[in-house]
Structure 1
Amino acid sequence: MFVCIRHFHSGKPDHESQGSDTDWAPSLHLEHTQVKATTPEVAGVDSISAAVILNDHDYCLSPSDGERSLDCQSPDSVPSEFVYTKENEGPEEKMKRYQWERRRENWVSKPLFQPSHDPPEHLLKCSADHCPGTSKAKENIPVPKKANDEPHQSHRQLQAEYGYLRQELDALQAENQMLKEELEKSKFSYANVKCNARQLLFFTGFTSVIFHWLLTKINDSVERISQKLGQEDHLLVVLMKLRLGLNNTDLAYRFNESTATISDICRSWIPTMAIILRPLIKWPSREAIRRNMPDIFDPNFTKCRCIMDFAEISIARPSNLTARAQTWSTYKHNNTIKYLITFTPAGAISFLSPGWGGQVSDRQITYDSGFLGRLEPRDQIIAERVFQIRSELAAQGATFRIPHFARRKKQLSAHELETSRQLSRVRIHVERVLGRWKDFKILQSVIPLSQVDMLDDVVVLCSALTNLCKSVVPKSKQ
């Protein structure tokens, strides 16, 4: 870079003058500017220095000898464009150089002599390529304490935040693991239900002792359908379907299985269990009935052999017109399947007929079911309402006893009124047994057409399981 110095009295560049070597200097950019002296001291000098703005620097030459002063405190000091720094300079030298750079910046921003017009903008901008010493000096400027502490403080804050987030992550992972364990424990299975005797009694109607007895009785005859469910879970599915009347979709959701798997379990286990447990529905001998006769039947109904009723179970409306007509019940006003069922005075189910369409008469079911062949002479049959079977029972030597008010008589005699009251007291206990049988909610629900073919097995199984329950009829004092 070259600097051009002019004399004010001649107005010519120094390289054109014939003066000494101190009258000129090489310059990269030449700017001819006439500068007037603004002070008396400067005006009285024949040859003074001219100020040339070059790359944001004002170069001033001494009016006496024309040489630059390297002392930054001297009034003849000239900011140098070439700054030399040593890598091993001490803190004091760095501070002096920093102060010198600050003064140089002030000289650049406030020139000693104001030119007559503003210099070009590109001359006022200094880049790192033109001023390598300046960038070098800025790199060695000491960093203030506040600026040095801010990164450390931010680092400490980030570490504290990281520690907090780490603790929160550990807590969430522990909670997730705990929820997984609770979910595994809350999975619906016999292993979780058996821990609470009340829950097991609600879902199955039996205690754990009877449940294991049933499992032992049928374990060798049934097939394991699902590998995910154990034999206890298979039995629990069947008992819950009978006891609570749940559909297959509900059971599939509870046991985390498909609906098809639950259907296969029911279709495989219910018929097998019905065959195995059918002997529990037994017609007792007359001596056995008298031995277990409750006190409430004495002394007027000591010859009572059974209490009979016709139970009707609703089914879905068949699409076939013939089947729809055969299953229509005028008593229930619905499509039903009718069964003849009898109870002993002690409350056990002693006879169960196959299912018939609701349109079939009570007489035909009584005659075709084989019930009449089990009766003996002088047996008493008690019923709640009038059935058109009196003549058939009389042919077997049996007596049919019903309350007199069921015959719709306008006026009852004193004897008929007392007999009807006694029959009503006996009938209350029978209603309890019938209610125990109907505790299996599947018998009170509407059976889908796809499951009507299993209805006989379902009724047999519910009747056999009812006989396993504790009797609701008071025991005899004997």
Structure 2
Amino acid sequence: MVRNCVVRGCHSKHASDVRLFSIPLSYDNRNPDDFNILSERRSLWLSRLHIHEGDLKKKSFVCHKHFVSGKPSYYRDVDNVDWAPTLNLDNNYSTRYQRRKRYNINRDKLCNVMDHNITDTSEVVAESDHSQLMESNENDGPLDLSVGLKHIADIEQESFALPLILPELTPNSENPTTETESVEVSALKEEIINLQSQLATLNKDYIALKQEFHMYTQRPITSNFFAKCQNSDKWMQVYTSLTTAKSFEIIYNAVSSAIPENNNYSLCKRQQLFLALVRLSHNLSEMDLAFRFNVSSATVCRYFHSWIDAIYLKLRNYVIIWPTLDELNVAMQMCFRRSYPRTVSIMDCFETQIQIPHNRNDQAATYSTYKSRNTVKYLISTTPHGTVNFISKGYTGRKSDQFVVRHSGYKENLKEGDGVLADKGFDVAEEIGLMGATLTTPAFKSSDQLTQKETEVSRGVSNVRIHIEREIGSIRMRFDIMCGPVVMSNLYNFEESVCLYDKIVAVCCIINNLNPSLIFI
């Protein structure tokens, strides 16, 4: 069955370059509370299309030519210009039967006018001929019938020829106008045509500006959950781990451009970002978030993935940065300034539990003897100020700390003269020394007991290296999604050799950097 557009005068059919949209129903089983909105929208559609409810087919469609943006808006966006069709709705369109009927009426009127003029003209001609005959009878004698017959024939010829000139003569005979008036009328017609063209141009500009306005204005907030937390520092910190509501707006303004505008979104962009941050902070299930925000589970998953990608791409290179030693010395903490003034990095590894893989090879590769479970391992580095300046991609739990340091790209950030603090398990002093940097770790126990000097050195390193442990603990405490267990699907979805969980860990570090530091001067 060929699908056609039901708008009168529109002959669009289903094709590759034509999009058809069905007339909305007055009910929705998934959202029974929106019955009034759906009924009002359907009534508005039918009134603009000049279609009665009884004349509507089971499946009726409207093409994209009748919408400003090329498609109808979301049914809850009542103020949108595309909530109902607006363009190319020709109300003067008539059917073939109506046009034929109008043509017959105009033709009958014209014939009546022509008959009336013919009768008047015949009477005038007949009177003039009769007077001529009477004069000739008085002057010449008896009446000549041949002359009368000749006049009658001439009258009949004139009566048949008269309708050919009546359409031009009749208006002049009924509404005589001068040449000046005709010139004024033609000038007025030209002015009307110019004004109509200007009006059409202004209407197009108005529609374009209205479309742009609706695209960039905020969608209405439909979630009471977000409305209560939006302007509250307390609830924003509880649900998103951001210290203030202003931090939320800063992230939104920096990232929102990466998410395209779409009228079919159930939630506005701020609500979508809030949903993603709530899931990072509390690791809520998709069903729970779908219930809280009144959307489907698939919508929650789509919003979460979109905003994680946007934050990762937009802010990673601007928030997780490696400062130089000169920049760190401007505000170096005293605990570092006294003992380790050239420190630029404190590094450590942390592991997060994952679901047990089905493949035995994957089980063996991800099993960590240190944690006695299947894990994914990350290398993290912080500055003496307590901000994350490096986060690696994920490695299987079986990989050693030395392997991760050698292959994660951490060494490329070091420069000559830099100092690095690490745990004694990081036996990478040679690799770091090749970069011109110095690695400082607690002393190894070469005998039954450490010497006094080794004890003092180990205590001093531990006192400042403990900040990396505090930073890792702070990230885990703020973001429950970092505690695991990690779903295997988040580890298999790779994009440019980076899986989804790698992006999640990086985003958690980004948000952690936007919060106040744990280390004070």
TM-score surpassing 0.5? yes
SS in 2 for 1:308: strand
* Matched residue, 1:210: 247
SS in 2 for 1:462: helix
Q: Distance in 1 between matches of 2:470 and 2:261?
A: 36
Cα shift readout 1:218-264 (whole Å, capped 9, x = no counterpart): 11111468733221110111101111122212211221222111111
Structure 2, unaligned runs of 5 or more: 1-220, 494-499
* Matched residue, 1:138: none
**1:396 matches 2:435:** yes
Whichever residue aligns with residue 341 of structure 2, its letter is T
Q: How does 1:279-318 map to 2 (within 5 A)?
A: 279=317, 280-318=319-357
* Matched residue, 2:505: 459
Whichever residue aligns with residue 392 of structure 2, its letter is S
- For 1:366, which of 387, 398, 405 is the aligned residue? 405
Residues 188 and 244 of structure 1: CA distance in aligned 2, closer, same or farther (over 3 Å): farther
**1:380 matches 2:426:** no
Q: Distance in 2 between matches of 1:187 and 1:229?
A: 8
Distance apart, 1:388 and its partner CA: 2.6
Distance apart, 1:408 and its partner CA: 7.1
Residues 355 and 221 of structure 1: CA distance in aligned 2, closer, same or farther (over 3 Å): same
Residues 408 and 203 of structure 1: CA distance in aligned 2, closer, same or farther (over 3 Å): farther
Which structure has greater helix proportion? 2
Distance apart, 1:430 and its partner CA: 3.0
Is the contact between residue 274 and residue 461 of structure 1 (CA under 8 Å) also seen in structure 2? yes
Distance apart, 1:193 and its partner CA: 1.4
* Matched residue, 2:26: none
Q: How does 1:189-208 map to 2 (within 5 A)?
A: 189-206=225-242, 207-208=244-245
Cα shift readout 1:74-108 (whole Å, capped 9, x = no counterpart): xxxxxxxxxxxxxxxxxxxxxxxxxxxxxxxxxxx
Is the contact between residue 350 and residue 379 of structure 2 (CA under 8 Å) also seen in structure 1? yes
* Matched residue, 1:260: 298
* Matched residue, 1:65: none
SS in 1 for 2:258: coil
Structure 1 or 2, whichever has the larger Rg, is 1
Whichever residue aligns with residue 435 of structure 1, its letter is G
Q: How does 1:82-231 map to 2 (within 5 A)?
A: 188-206=224-242, 207-223=244-260, 227-231=265-269
Q: Could you state the TM-score of these two structures normalised by the residue count of structure 1?
A: 0.57
Residues 408 and 227 of structure 1: CA distance in aligned 2, closer, same or farther (over 3 Å): farther
SS in 1 for 2:350: strand
Distance apart, 1:457 and its partner CA: 0.7
Q: Distance in 2 between matches of 1:244 and 1:377?
A: 42
Q: Distance in 1 between matches of 2:457 and 2:401?
A: 25
Q: Distance in 2 between matches of 1:268 and 1:408?
A: 52
Q: Distance in 2 between matches of 1:197 and 1:283?
A: 30
Residues 431 and 359 of structure 1: CA distance in aligned 2, closer, same or farther (over 3 Å): closer
- For 2:307, which of 269, 272, 282 is the aligned residue? 269
* Matched residue, 2:381: 342
Distance apart, 1:437 and its partner CA: 2.1
* Matched residue, 1:415: 453
* Matched residue, 1:435: 473
Distance apart, 1:201 and its partner CA: 0.8
Whichever residue aligns with residue 273 of structure 1, its letter is I
Distance apart, 1:344 and its partner CA: 0.3
Is the contact between residue 315 and residue 448 of structure 1 (CA under 8 Å) also seen in structure 2? yes
Q: Distance in 2 between matches of 1:233 and 1:186?
A: 9
Is the contact between residue 222 and residue 267 of structure 2 (CA under 8 Å) also seen in structure 1? no
Distance apart, 1:378 and its partner CA: 3.0
Whichever residue aligns with residue 445 of structure 1, its letter is G
Distance apart, 1:270 and its partner CA: 0.9
Residues 232 and 189 of structure 1: CA distance in aligned 2, closer, same or farther (over 3 Å): farther
SS in 2 for 1:219: helix
Whichever residue aligns with residue 462 of structure 2, its letter is S
Paired residues, number: 290
**1:329 matches 2:368:** yes
Structure 1, unaligned runs of 5 or more: 1-184
Distance apart, 1:390 and its partner CA: 2.2
- For 1:240, which of 278, 300, 318 is the aligned residue? 278
